[in-house]
Amino acid sequence: MMVTWVHGQFNRISGTLVFDPANIAASSLEVEIDAAGLYTGIEKRDTHLRSSDFLDVEKYPKITFSSTHVSPAGLDHAKVTGNLAIRDITRPVILDVRWAGPSRFVDDNETFTTFGFRAKAEINREDFGMTWNMEMENKGFMVGKHVFITLNSEADLVSGEKPSGE
């Protein structure tokens, strides 16, 4: 048992996506997150989550994900298997990915082709060495083991070509 769910976000993320809707299996994803960019809206909690009890951002400043396999799962859906590294511990994770697009728009007389992506996964924080907890009076614990990850992103086509399958 825990008290409630806490929503947080990382505000310094970079990555590379290779994506072709006509050949999903050839896709790949590399993501790097600045762990110190964690934000939950409560500075005291953010400081604790950045500490050695959890992310230990001084020692492990980056969180990374590197895909190893992509399996199509529908017209706008794929399972992306990869390695997630947190605190220098790497574990396999499967992202359930959905996308929308392509969408085209013009900005300053330049045409952009954009896709939107949402990826979801669930991990056990203890698998990544984040074992701190505090027992509460009712015998429950302050922090749950499960972390629900949602990645929302937008990617612009950079080749200047139309994506395959259009």
Instruction: Give the tens place of pLDDT for each residue, 109-126.
Output: 888 889 999 999 999 999
- The CATH number of the domain holding residue 117 is 2.40.128.110
Q: How many domains does the chain have?
A: 1
Q: What is the pLDDT of residues 19-75, one digit of tens each?
A: 988 899 999 999 999 999 999 999 999 999 999 999 999 999 999 999 999 999 988
Residue 3 lies in a domain: no
Does position 1 have pLDDT exceeding 50, yes or no? no
Question: Can you tell me the distance from the alpha carbon of 164 to that of 48, in angstroms, rounded to the nearest whole number?
Answer: 46
Q: What is the pLDDT of residue 3?
A: 67
The arithmetic mean of pLDDT across residues 142-150, rounded, is 90
Question: Can you tell me the distance from the alpha carbon of 67 to that of 20, in angstroms, rounded to the nearest whole number?
Answer: 15
Smallest CA-to-CA distance from 94 within 24, 160, 149 is with 149
Please tell me what DSSP assigns to residue 141: B
Residue 162 lies in a domain: no
Residue 166 lies in a domain: no
DSSP letters of 56-73?
-TTT--EEEEEEEEEEEE
Residue 163 lies in a domain: no
Residue 1 lies in a domain: no
62-74 and 38-39 as β-strands: parallel, antiparallel, unpaired? unpaired
The two structure tokens encoding residue 9: 């976000």
> Cα angle vertex 53, ends 51, 54, to 5°?
75
Domain membership of residue 95 as a residue range: 9-156
Residue 164 lies in a domain: no
Q: What is the pLDDT of residue 157?
A: 79
Q: How confident is the model at residue 144 (pLDDT cuts 50, 70, 90)?
A: confident
The two structure tokens encoding residue 124: 């056990």
Cα torsion angle, 100, 104, 105, 106, sign: positive
Q: What is the pLDDT of residue 65?
A: 98
